[in-house]
Amino acid sequence: MSIQITSTHIPEVLYLIPERFEDERGFFMEIYRTDILSQHGILFEPCQENLSQSRHGVLRGLHHQLEVPQGKLVRVLQGEIFDVAVDIRRSSPTFGHWVAARLSDRLHDMLWIPPGFSHGFYVLSQQAAIAYTCTAPYLPNAQAKIRWNDPSLAITWPIDADNPPILSTADAGALDLEQADLYP
């Protein structure tokens, strides 16, 4: 069993593809193995697993927690998403940079987003179910948001200009990076 792990242009954000074993009955794959993940700097004890289901055109994010930062191992159980991680550590050489990956149920690929990053996704398929295993519990009062289309980030979301994304009221009112609460 193995998991193919590739660095992105932000070294702490990793792209993972688990090995898949198929036969006439279906398939099997290992999603989480501490021995393999720890060799690549992914060190955490899963604390919470979340499941989000959204329809085509929904954009969730960009979200992060300040007091208790969360790392997230993100994967798609059904459908396809455009997943984004933004480095919001002011002291980081990649502060304000972002990484994106298309994640799908076809590849069962994953994105490791460490603490110190804001996270968001856009649903490309008719609907998508997204699971993310977290390093810390969700704390509603600790959550902060950054505007998904902040011009200083210049994220190239694959959104049709004629069909704006579907946002929550909170996400629609999020602040730009320079105004948001961030990490030191």
The rounded distance, in Å, linking the Cα atoms of 92 and 170 is 27
The rounded distance, in Å, linking the Cα atoms of 120 and 86 is 9
Q: Are 61 and 171 in contact (CB under 8 A)?
A: yes
Q: Which one of 63, 64, 108, 119 is the catalytic residue?
A: 63
Q: Kindly state the helix (H) or strand (E) to which residue 169 belongs, with its residue range.
A: helix 169-172
Q: Are 56 and 105 in contact (CB under 8 A)?
A: no
Q: Which one of 64, 119, 122, 132 is the catalytic residue?
A: 132
Catalytic status, residue 64: no
Catalytic status, residue 63: yes
Annotated catalytic sites, by residue? 63, 132
